[in-house]
Amino acid sequence: KQLPYRTYPANSGFASVSPETATGTTVAVVTVSDPDDGQNARVTITDGNEEDYFRLESGKNFAILRLNRLVADKPIERFLLKFRAVDDGSPARFSERDLKIFVLNLNDTAPLLESELIEGSIYENSIAGSFVAAVRAVHHRNLHFSAIDDDEGAELFDVSQNTGSSFSSKISFSFKYAYQKYQGH
């Protein structure tokens, strides 16, 4: 059984730091919902922090992720941290979640999307993996595309990291409703 939890800032799916971010700065907050008696969930970083750029300060069903050392001393574009929340129950329940942390280049400019709204259509009886739409952006560096997992409806699509092409991952009657809701209709 899983132990649900969220990271903050909410609904972003990622965090960011810059080379000038001071050590001790809060990068994210992880909160855990543990319905068992005692409210006893613990959060740890299980992967992605081998060089101790980050530290966790834990409390009762939460942990604050702080910058432990400056990122300016090593040319890193992003980190991928894996968190694990575990309770003290018997048997213990746990949940894992990834958090991308991007290192901002202060001299860099943000990629420009060719369109703020990406529209596509697909038949309800289409097979999973059918092409839906392409996200296009312009930037002087190589781009990597991804869907933000916390967005409602994001589970309906798989986005190619290299091309920005979007493919269906689930097709059902509720697909149309969820997609329209996701688009703000």
Number of domains making up the chain: 2
C-alpha count within 13 angstroms, C-beta hemisphere, residue 170: 12
Which residues, in sequence order, are CB contacts of 93 under 8 Å at separation 6+? 1, 2, 3, 34, 36, 86, 87
In a shared domain, residues 36 and 10: yes
Q: State the residue range of the domain holding 177.
A: 112-182
Query: The domain that contains 33 carries what CATH number?
Result: 2.60.40.60
Mean pLDDT score, 77-96: 85
pLDDT at 177: 42
Of 58, 55, 8, 62, nearest in space to 33 by CA: 62
Q: What is the pTM of this model?
A: 0.59
End-of-domain residue from the set 61, 80, 103? 103
- Measured CA to CA, the distance from residue 100 to residue 71 in angstroms comes to 15
Query: Partners of 94 in the beta sheet?
Result: 86
Residue with tokens 């997609």: 179
**By the 8 A CB rule, do 29 and 7 touch?**
yes
Domain boundary among 103, 132, 165: 103
CA–CA–CA angle 149, 160, 138 (5° rounding): 100
Reported as a single tens digit per residue, the pLDDT across 152-185 is: 566 677 777 777 676 666 655 454 444 443 443 3
